[in-house]
Amino acid sequence: MGAGITGNIAVLTGAGISKESGLDTFRDADGLWSKVSLEDYATPEGFARDPVKVQAFYNERRRGMAGGNIRPNAAHEALAKLEAEWPGEVVVITQNIDDLHGRAGTKNLIHMHGELFKVRCDACKAVSERRGDVAVDEVCGECGAAGAMRPHVVWFGEMPFDMDRIYEALDACELFMSIGTSGNVYPAAGFVQHVRFKGGIHSVELNLEPSEGASQFAETVYGPATEVVPEYVERLLSGR
Ligand code: BV8
């Protein structure tokens, strides 16, 4: 445990933090990429090849998120409590496109891979909220382009959002927490190496099992996020 930490905290989260809220992860046995191919559904090339199929995949996930009783869990809530009560800055950098951190009350939040409930016009780049389906031939309300509307999500081969802000937060923190991610996808999987090279930053992985990058963390805590995250947050807040 990074005893005596009082400075800023940067938290990276992945699909594992939302698993106990009822959302699939990607690489677990029953994960999303075991059901559909990443190349066909999460790349610009896959979207260009078959926009109907890809829009339907995201429409389905949007319906599941909006319709089902998917709610933030104790791990999301613990991070919101940490932000509210911690003396320093707390920033949550999530790879997830669900809205659970925001609904739990986290304010200082970066969706580096985009958001399921946002769409973007590829012609004029206007981004708008969307709870319902996106039609392939939809006309953009901003610029009138037809068929240019896509999920506001970062696909493989596309640049994640807010990378400058992310590296500023990593460089300014005293504690880097990585929660519920398998450490397969870059650049997020490289953040722990970045903080190690920076020096003076304590790094902890809280996950169900060791990630690809487990050996790079100064501290590791394994177990379900709804157990290990609230417990770790309580220890931080009580200064133990
Ligand atoms: C980019 C949005 C550059 C879509 C996603 C070779 C080497 C290195 C890199 C590359 C390479 N080839 C290609 C690359 C780059 C590529 C990449 O990293 N590929 C990987 C597969 C090798 N990365 C990119 O393309 C990125 N962009 O590099 O741009 C660039 C430079 C210049 C100009 C232009 C571009 C973009 C990557 C973003 C892709 N989009 N998502 C969607 O969601 O539909 S990625 C997808 O994976 C999600 O965002 C997800 O969050 C992310 C990471 O997955 P995890 O969150 O970690 O989920 P996973 O299932 O893997 O793991 C879950 C973990 O939780 C497990 O460890 C499990 O044990 C744990 N868990 C389960 N239950 C629980 C739990 N933990 C706690 N409690 C529980 N209950």
pLDDT digits (tens, 9 = 90+) for 76-120: 999 999 999 999 999 999 999 999 999 999 999 999 999 999 999
Alpha carbon of 26 to ligand 1 centroid (Å): 8
Q: Residue 90: in which H helix or E strand, if any?
A: strand 90-94
CA distance 101 to 107: 8
Contacts 24+ apart (CB under 8 A), 55-60: 55/133, 55/134, 55/135, 55/136, 55/150, 55/151, 58/116, 58/134, 58/151, 58/153, 59/133, 59/134
Look up residue 106 and give its two tokens: 């986290």
Cα-only R_g, the chain: 18
User: What is the model's pTM?
Assistant: 0.96
Can 111 be counted among the known catalytic residues? no
Looking at residue 32, its pLDDT comes to 87
Pocket residues: Cβ below 6 A from ligand 1: 14-16, 19-20, 25-28, 31, 42, 95-97, 113, 153-160, 180-182, 184-187, 207-209, 211, 224-225
pLDDT digits (tens, 9 = 90+) for 31-70: 888 888 899 999 999 999 999 999 999 999 999 998 879 9
- Under the banding of pLDDT at 50, 70 and 90, the label for residue 4 is confident
pLDDT digits (tens, 9 = 90+) for 212-238: 999 999 999 999 999 999 999 999 999
The owner of tokens 């990074």 is: 2
Alpha carbon of 185 to ligand 1 centroid (Å): 3
| Distance of alpha carbon 20 from the chain centroid | 15
